[in-house]
Amino acid sequence: MKRFLAALGVCVAVALPAKAEQYITVLTGGTSGVYYPLGVALSSIYGKAIPGAKVTVQATKASVENLNLLQAGRGEIAFTLGDSLSQAWKGDEEAGFKSKLEKLRTIAAIYPNYIQIVASKDSGVKTLADLKGKRISVGAPKSGTELNARAIFGAAGLTYKDFAKTEYLPFAESVDLIKNRQLDATLISAGLGVAAIKDLATSQDITIVSVPADVVEKVGDPAYIAETIPANSYSGQAEAVPTAAVRNLLVTHSGVSDDAAYAMTKSLFENLDALAAAHVAAKQIKLDASTLKSPVPLHPGAAKFYKEKGLM
């Protein structure tokens, strides 16, 4: 009888599996950008809101790398620029996508990235035309920032060959070279208040270079819109500066379960205050019709949440 009861206990234990852990890797960007602090905040939100979730944050080269990692199933949610997402969905090889990334699914369109071209005051750069013959960093190779640089400079009639030197560096490294007088300017695509520009502006006088509305229109991509960097966004920036902006999105892939995608979407919008506390850019995240705008289909789990909120 004892042996029978012991055997019965084993059977019961085998028949009642433990609750499966939910692994969530948040793909962000460089640590001096906006994606990373928001990703850290998002990981904390998911860790508390989703039962059994094991959440990690991964610093990356941002948009292009993030989307390729999602397609390969090496992450569950990622930040990306809208134009990079569109190119990934089309399979634009020149943009860094060898084939159409058909597994991508949208969680939410969030805040806009501002194209922020910053130059040292000593460089004498005041306009886009002044960049000719200067030493420029255009962002990490084939990152979302670098794709933005190609688009904006191209619309302004500039190519990389017009620069005395073109570096392909992340935000922090670009700023360090400007500080050391090894570069004249850099293009940074990020939310307002990005740490790298704040750092540069507190160490020396800078100029935020204007991107006129007619240049934004010449890009010819609806993902690019005319925007304004408000006055005093950075130390010493006394006037508002016209520029371009591109919407950021949070994206997942089709292999993520509907329940997980629903939980990630719901807890995102229920904790916007925590995201805004992590970075001021998150104050621009709103739950409205624009949240659903994406070149890639919504994940069914995200769609369920938006239906509950009356947006679909």
Instruction: Write out pLDDT tens, residues 149-201.
Output: 999 999 999 999 999 999 999 999 999 999 999 999 999 999 999 999 999 99
Confidence (pLDDT) at 301: 98
Of 215, 246, 277, the residue that ends a domain is 246
| Same domain as 124, residue 237 | yes
| Same domain as 231, residue 125 | yes
| Same domain as 276, residue 218 | no
Range of the domain at 281: 22-111+248-308
Buried/exposed 282-305: b ≥16 CB within 10 Å, e otherwise: bbebebeeebeebbbebbebbbbb
Q: What is the CATH number of the domain that holds 89?
A: 3.40.190.10
The residues, any chain, with a CB within 8 Å of residue 176's CB and separated by 6 or more, are none
Counting the structural domains of the chain, the total is: 2
In a domain, 14, yes or no: no
d(CA 165, CA 167): 7
The residues, any chain, with a CB within 8 Å of residue 300's CB and separated by 6 or more, are 258, 261
- Ranking 39-43, 143-147, 268-272, 286-290 by mean pLDDT, the lowest is 143-147
Of 224, 246, 268, the residue that ends a domain is 246
Q: What is the pTM of this model?
A: 0.82
pLDDT confidence tier of residue 5, bands split at 50, 70 and 90 = very low
In a domain, 3, yes or no: no
Q: State yes or no: pLDDT of 42 exceeds 50.
A: yes
Of 246, 278, 295, the residue that ends a domain is 246
CA-closest candidate to residue 292, choices 305, 275, 279:
305
| Same domain as 146, residue 50 | no
Percentage of the residues of the chain whose pLDDT score is greater than 90 = 86
Instruction: Write out pLDDT tens, residues 18-31.
Output: 446 789 999 999 89
- 137 φ, ψ to 5°? -110, 135
| Same domain as 120, residue 230 | yes
Q: State yes or no: pLDDT of 4 exceeds 70.
A: no
